[in-house]
Amino acid sequence: MVEETKTCINCGMVNDIGVARCVQCSNPLTAYGGQVNNSEKHEGNLAAQVALLEKRPVIVSVVAGFSVFFALFWPLAYVIGSFTARVKVSEDQMNYLAASFGSLGVIFSAIALIPLAIVLVIVAWGTFTQRAWGWYTSLGSMGVFLFWTLVHFRAAPFFSFVWVVAMISGAVLWFKRDVKAWYVV
């Protein structure tokens, strides 16, 4: 019976086939241990795949940063806008009910928007930390933001156009092969 052996490419030592590391120099002898040689066939080039996963695509940082920025400043801007636009008590003190109900709008805005901001921060975390769901939720948030921009296009056409171009460009970059491979989607 012929015993199968594997030669270490680092030191030349002949090792038994079942050994994962070289007996002499501890060099990995298997693909799992980090060694890939021409006799072992794998899907794609393992080293190239690992190199792709080690480098975070730039668009990932941009999308995560945008989500954090949007989470911090959108609720704040909306609440401040609601506060400044609320009905104030007139000099003759006759509209005090409208002023008090106007203050409730600010409170309800804060109650609704703070959880949404927390969700956006969680989406940014998932996007930045290479979670597969982070890819999908960031794509969804880009779609929601694009829809929101298109609905309010008439209010500020120039800024809306800039945001539409930015969201479409971001979505195109988001679907690039290296970004999807980084998320393993």
Q: Is residue 118 part of a domain?
A: yes
Q: Looking at residues 72-77, what average pLDDT do you find?
A: 84
**Same domain as 29, residue 120:** no
Q: Quick check: 58 pLDDT over 50?
A: yes
Q: pLDDT-derived band of residue 41, with 50, 70 and 90 as boundaries?
A: very low
Q: Is residue 82 part of a domain?
A: yes
Q: Is residue 50 part of a domain?
A: no
Q: Looking at residues 108-115, what average pLDDT do you find?
A: 84
Q: Is residue 93 part of a domain?
A: yes
**Same domain as 18, residue 82:** no
How many domains is the chain partitioned into structurally? Answer: 2
- pLDDT digit string (tens) for 23-36? 888 888 776 555 55
Q: Quick check: 168 pLDDT over 90?
A: yes
Q: Is residue 68 part of a domain?
A: yes
**Same domain as 62, residue 128:** yes
**Same domain as 32, residue 60:** no
- pLDDT digit string (tens) for 131-164? 989 999 999 999 998 998 899 888 888 988 999 9
3 state SS for the chain: CCCCEEECCCCCCEEECCCCECCCCCCECCCCCCCCCCCCCCCCCHHHHHHHHHCCCHHHHHHHHHHHHHHHHHHHHHHHHHHHCCCCCCCCCCCHHHHHHHHHHHHHHHHHHHHHHHHHHHHHHHHHCCCHHHHHHHHHHHHHHHHHHHHCCCCCHHHHHHHHHHHHHHHHHHCCHHHHHHHCC
Q: Quick check: 43 pLDDT over 70?
A: no
Percent of the chain exceeding pLDDT 90 equals 29
Q: Is residue 155 part of a domain?
A: yes
The parent domain of residue 81 ranges over 56-177
**Same domain as 89, residue 134:** yes
**pLDDT at position 17, please?**
79
Q: Is residue 3 part of a domain?
A: yes
Q: Quick check: 97 pLDDT over 70?
A: no
Q: Is residue 47 part of a domain?
A: no
Q: Is the pTM of this model over 0.75?
A: no
